[in-house]
Amino acid sequence: MKKLFLIALLSILSLNLINAQQLKSPNGETILSFLLTSDGIPTYQLSYKSKDVIKTSKLGLELKNDKKSLLNDFVITDTKNSSFDENWTPVWGEVKTIRNHYNEMAVTLNQKETNRQMIIRFRLYNEGLGFRYEFPTQKNLTYFVVKEEKTQFAMAGDHTAYWIAGDYDTQEYDYTTSKLSEIRALNAKAITANLSQKSFSPTGVQTSLMMKTANGLYINLHEAALINYPCMHLNLDDKNMIFESWLTPDVNGDKGYIQAPFTTPWRTVIVSDDAREILASKMIYNLNEPNKIKDTSWIKPVKYVGVWWEMITGKSSWAYTDDYPSVQLGITDYSKAKPNGKHGANTENVKKYIDFAAANGFDGVLVEGWNVGWEDWYGNSKDYVFDFVTPYPDFKLQEIRDYAKSKGVKMIMHHETSSSVRNYERHIDTAYKFMKANGYDAVKSGYVGNILPRGENHYSQWIINHYQYAVEKAAEYKIMVNAHEAIRPTGIARTYPNLIGNESARGTEYQAFGGSKPNHVTILPFTRLQGGPMDYTPGIFEMDISKLNPSNTSHVNATLANQLALYLTMYSPLQMAADLPENYNRFADAFQFIKDVAVDWDDSKYIEAEPGEYVTVARKGKGTGKWFLGSVNGDNSRTSNIPLDFLESGKKYTATIYADAKDAHYKTNPQAYTIRKVAVTSKSKLAQFCAPGGGYAISFLENK
């Protein structure tokens, strides 16, 4: 009997293998298997170098008011395989050219009972997998509402994960490092206060999710090309270690309104046994459409300073007066208000920043709190909150515009929407025209607070469409966009490179709101930065916030050398020197690195990487041949040992090394640093001490 059972089992397994569709990556190391179960449920598996990455996982969508949904009863009617290989040139980026090389399999499925058609398209790269659902034009499936997408990612073990709690409205959480099985117990502690937040499950997490397996694999789950669809979270079945997609709902609880023909965003799995390859991957970008902006000459990487940190710390205020607890635009008369004496966006102060930018070679100056309405701007579900064109009495807009122009400095606009999305769309053309008329080529937008229309979430389909609308509308006016509190990026900057930055994670501002974990910046490159650059606003030199504002006892949990390294490790074509000019003048020798470092690159080499522990990257400035290197460290001190073989062979360089002093510590001695010059070549090796929460930065000057 046992023998007959074994024969029967082997027969079933053989039949499954025969029915399975297989796809290999270009190098043959990553293998995808697609299979319909006996009751027509689509499933897939993924392996890397013969190791399980994704075990058998179900695919499909549950539809609203539809008894059948798109979950089972499918048969395969067609399979098309193809290969693709190209090199494309980004407008800005970490490298000069990007290779887009994959093998593709498009499986056409027909649902027998309903005669509805669905295509699942798989693209397999050397570093991972992208797949999406496609709904071609058809009679039996035109308009439908997604109740839930049922995409699964079945893990092969209880992996170590670097995660933030699932939330419909914020990504601004510190990361927790734990086993998957520990997420449920740690969830409540992982959720910290925010001005808008809505969690949904004790095992819900956000993408980009980074994991490490016991057998040495690094696995990253995310999505690409998030267009006209809600943001995907992941909900963990912690008994079976299976993640399932969990889409962000709208005010009615619906997940997505679809009209065929339609394609969903790509679901992505990046995998390697080398953490550096996760950081170097461009798969998310490659899964997006090519650039749609024909003339990109106006899109330029920017290094800037701004009237921002002094407000974040409480030294100054966004509001002009303390007289008005309630503001009604067009009615409230600011000419009769008594200035509070703390307003940061005043003409004299802004000119100081313009002078500082001009003297130190910065491209731009951001000013927040310049426009009326900040006395009464969030928390009251207020619709008409800002008009984006009316300055406070002490902000002489034309005078500042002309002064900045005379100094060769560009002003950067600030549009805080207070999440009143309808109000922003009502004013957006007028606001963008106002910007262009006054010489502003870039805008920092913000979405603080709960979304209006009321009941919508920051990451639901309608609001995703708003963010996209704002970027595309800005492109019409040749305006670059840096959106804060918006959806985390999914590579859309390839298609619309005027999306030059996003926040969409816990940025430097939280260092003034109680602090962030010292290893935070060693995780972000593996998570948030997978889909696009982050306006992290680095460069803080004074870590004791009470010295700026005695009532704020926060502490920046980083060393000064760590802050310098962020200009390399936290990639962005938009880099702020966020501290006050007087603090840079106090440490002028260290500030020299921020002045020197490039913001656009021809090449990047990830030299060391371990999530939560350290990241070391070297980058070659675009068109200059100059190399810079940055290394950030986690909780524990270490010695970084790296080769300098990225330098050009046969040439001699002077390396200026900005590093932690031996007694440096992010908490007790953050401003202890050393600067030394060393003669090096491509054959040199460097051993460099890194303090807890520390790091180092290097500029390389070729000897002529």
CB-based contact 653:677 (threshold 8 Å)? no
Q: What pLDDT digit, counting tens, does each position of 56-110 carry?
A: 999 999 999 999 999 999 999 999 999 999 999 999 999 999 999 999 999 999 9
425 is catalytic: no
Q: What pLDDT digit, counting tens, does each position of 579-627 carry?
A: 999 999 999 999 999 999 999 999 999 999 999 999 999 999 999 999 9
* Marked catalytic residue, from 172, 416, 456, 509: 509
Q: What pLDDT digit, counting tens, does each position of 98-145 carry?
A: 999 999 999 999 999 999 999 999 999 999 999 999 999 999 999 999
- The residues, any chain, with a CB within 8 Å of residue 455's CB and separated by 6 or more, are 250, 251
Is 90 exceeded by the pLDDT of residue 529?
yes
695: left (phi over 0), alpha (psi -120 to 50) or beta: left
Q: How confident is the model at residue 475 (pLDDT cuts 50, 70, 90)?
A: very high
Is 70 exceeded by the pLDDT of residue 324?
yes
Is 50 exceeded by the pLDDT of residue 1?
no
Cα maximum dimension of the chain = 96
Amino acid code (one letter) for 319: A
CA-wise closest residue to 566 among 632, 499, 626: 632
- Please give the pLDDT value at position 7: 43
Q: What is the mean pLDDT of residues 392-411?
A: 98
Q: What is the three-class DSSP state of 173?
A: coil
> 0.85 exceeded by the pTM?
yes
Is 50 exceeded by the pLDDT of residue 9?
no
CB-based contact 500:506 (threshold 8 Å)? no
Q: What pLDDT digit, counting tens, does each position of 330-358 carry?
A: 999 999 999 999 999 999 999 999 999 99
Is 60 exceeded by the pLDDT of residue 23?
yes
**C-alpha torsion 121→123→129→133, nearest 10:** -20
- Please give the pLDDT value at position 19: 66
Q: How confident is the model at residue 208 (pLDDT cuts 50, 70, 90)?
A: very high
CA-wise closest residue to 264 among 487, 61, 466, 78: 61
Q: What pLDDT digit, counting tens, does each position of 242-259 carry?
A: 999 999 999 999 999 999
- Mean per-residue pLDDT over the chain, rounded: 96
Q: What is the mean pLDDT of residues 529-541?
A: 98
Q: Where are the alpha helices (DSSP H) in 159-270?
A: 183-190
Cα separation, 289 vs 268, in Å, equals 16
**% of the chain at pLDDT higher than 70:** 97
Q: What is the mean pLDDT of residues 169-191?
A: 98
- Please give the pLDDT value at position 3: 47
Q: What is the mean pLDDT of residues 149-165?
A: 98
